[in-house]
Amino acid sequence: QVDVVESGGGLVPPGGSLRLSCKVSGRTFNGYTMAWFRQAPGKEREFVAGNRRRGETTPYSDSVKGRFTMSRDSAENAVYLQMNSLKPEDTAVYYCAAEPRRLITSTLRVSSEYSYWGRGTQVTVSS
């Protein structure tokens, strides 16, 4: 059994910052492909950032590139999403996803490729 648990969401004004955490338990973490997705009300779930291994280039969606940074801590079995310069359009439920396989770049952005999901954490950007 693999458990994925997100934390760190909240209410923040435009231009503010938040740091999301995601902890994975149950299996060897180092080989996992990890990703962040988000889903706004009335919209489909969309890819935010993904990482296959610490030190590798992390793909980001165009909408968050330059503002969000994903990092990985193998000792803690965790990934993080540092979100800066937040905008109202960043408001969404943010989900952490884990996949034991090493996904290639073209599939890393596809939500159906991930086997394990957290319950999500709400991020609201509003004044």
pLDDT digits (tens, 9 = 90+) for 62-87: 999 999 999 998 888 999 999 999 99
Closest-CA residue to 111 (of 94, 122, 97, 91): 97
Q: What is the dihedral of CA 41, 34, 14, 90, to 10 degrees?
A: -30
Residues forming a β-bridge with 96: 36
Contacts of 43 (CB under 8 A, 6+ apart): 92
Closest-CA residue to 34 (of 62, 9, 5): 5
Percent of the chain at pLDDT exceeding 90: 80
Q: Average the pLDDT over 4-13 and give the result.
A: 97
Residue 116 has pLDDT above 90, yes or no: yes
Per-residue pLDDT tens for 26-68?
Answer: 767 788 999 999 999 999 999 999 998 777 878 999 999 999 9
Question: One-letter amino acid identity for 59?
Answer: P
Q: Which structure tokens are listed for 12? A: 């923040």
Please report which helix (H) or strand (E) contains residue 73, including its range: strand 68-73
Residue in the structure block whose two tokens are 């996803």: 97
78-83/68-73 β-pairing: antiparallel
Q: Average the pLDDT over 91-120 and give the result.
A: 94
The Cα angle at residue 63 between residues 60 and 68, in degrees rounded to 5? 55
Span between the terminal Cα atoms of the chain, in Å: 40
Q: What is the mean pLDDT of the chain?
A: 93
